[in-house]
């Protein structure tokens, strides 16, 4: 029989690794992936040994891409032997300190949060994006009207100079180290974010910098972007992002946050859901209602 396509094999292997799985040898994982693709057990074992090096290289390359894009990791290589693959949140005894172990445990619980986010209405998701942005330290964050928003769902400012606060005396000039954060929120579940979604954001940000809107009046009079003000173009989604869109982000500087990373951010900065799955979405809605983001 013909071998399954290599990309299909790697995709099947990755999806078979749960986020807190213990280490398993790559040959075992490759064999299981082949079997799931309807390859007989004996052939699967032989082909797994044969494709070990190539699969290992691809997993390493994909792992590096995820890190480069700032995406949440699903899998990791064991610190003792890179031929063993484990869930990204598996706690390695003697390697992970208590802080690292605690972060991994919180991250492993975000699947419930991601499920609840998926059940929100688009307008609720936009509000949640503002809450997440505030959790990251942004200030004066505004949510735009749900309709006629000129391609901008939220905007605010981030004082990056606060990262220099440990410097003796904290010179006042550090308060000038501020950046605008302007973004879109897309509540996609069935479809992936594509490159045209990102192009819409980029165009909207450029028009906002010039103060040019499709309305008679100045749409956002409190968003006065000076010619030399830096801007972070931020795209948040509850779903996934296509490979081409990730490449565009990498080449253009757009900061994209997919559903996994968004849940990770919320669990670290704003909320943890310990309620049963059926109650989690109601708890999340109550959390959003309590915060009540400012609408411009």
Say if 91 falls within a structural domain.
yes
Q: State whether 124 and 95 are in the same domain.
A: no
Give the pLDDT confidence score for residue 103 in this predicted structure: 85
- Number of independent structural domains in the chain: 2
Say if 1 falls within a structural domain.
no
Please name the residues in contact with 105: beta carbons below 8 A apart, sequence gap of 6 or more: 89, 91
Q: State whether 282 and 135 are in the same domain.
A: yes
Q: State whether 263 and 124 are in the same domain.
A: yes
Task: Reply yes or no on whether the pLDDT at 278 is more than 70.
Answer: no
- Structural domain span for residue 95: 6-108
Nearest-Å Rg of the Cα atoms of the chain is: 22
Say if 229 falls within a structural domain.
yes
Q: State whether 87 and 215 are in the same domain.
A: no
Q: State whether 154 and 195 are in the same domain.
A: yes
Q: State whether 131 and 276 are in the same domain.
A: yes
Lowest-confidence segment of 17-21, 234-238, 270-274 by average pLDDT: 270-274
Say if 296 falls within a structural domain.
no
Task: Reply yes or no on whether the pLDDT at 276 is more than 90.
Answer: no
Rounded CA separation 101/277 (Å):
24
> What's the rounded mean pLDDT across residues 61-87?
93
Pick the last residue of a domain from 80, 108, 136. Answer: 108
Encoding tokens for residue 222?
């409190």
Give the pLDDT confidence score for residue 268 in this predicted structure: 80
pLDDT tens figures, 193-249: 999 999 999 999 999 898 887 775 667 888 889 999 999 999 999 999 999 999 999
Pick the last residue of a domain from 82, 108, 134. Answer: 108
Task: Reply yes or no on whether the pLDDT at 275 is more than 60.
Answer: no
Q: State whether 220 and 286 are in the same domain.
A: yes
């Amino acid at each position: 029989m013909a071998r399954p396509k290599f990309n299909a094999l790697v995709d099947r292997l990755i999806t078979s690794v749960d986020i807190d799985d213990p280490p398993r040898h790559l040959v075992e994982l490759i064999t299981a992936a082949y079997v799931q693709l309807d390859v007989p057990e004996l052939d699967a074992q032989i082909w797994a040994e044969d494709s070990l090096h190539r699969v290992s290289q691809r997993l390493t390359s994909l792992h590096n891409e995820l890190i480069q894009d700032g995406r949440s990791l699903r899998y990791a290589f064991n610190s003792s032997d890179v031929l063993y693959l484990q869930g990204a949140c598996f706690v390695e005894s003697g390697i992970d300190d208590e802080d690292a172990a605690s972060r991994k445990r919180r991250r492993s619980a975000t699947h419930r949060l991601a499920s609840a986010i998926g059940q929100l209405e688009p307008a609720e998701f936009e509000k949640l994006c503002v809450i997440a942005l505030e959790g990251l330290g942004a200030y004066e964050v505004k949510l735009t009207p749900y309709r006629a928003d000129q391609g901008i769902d939220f905007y605010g400012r981030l004082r990056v100079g606060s990262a220099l606060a440990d410097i003796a005396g904290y010179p006042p000039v550090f308060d000038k180290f501020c950046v605008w954060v302007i973004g879109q929120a897309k509540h996609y579940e069935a479809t992936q974010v594509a490159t045209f979604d990102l192009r819409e954001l980029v165009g909207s940000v450029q028009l906002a910098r010039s103060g040019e809107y499709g309305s008679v009046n100045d749409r956002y009079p409190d968003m006065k972007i000076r010619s030399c003000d830096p801007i972070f173009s931020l795209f948040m989604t509850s779903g996934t992002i296509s490979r081409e869109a990730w490449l565009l982000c990498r080449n253009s500087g757009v900061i994209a946050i997919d559903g996994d990373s968004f849940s990770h951010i919320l669990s670290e900065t704003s909320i943890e859901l310990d309620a049963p799955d059926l109650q989690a979405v109601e708890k999340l809605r109550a959390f959003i209602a309590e915060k009540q983001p400012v609408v411009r």
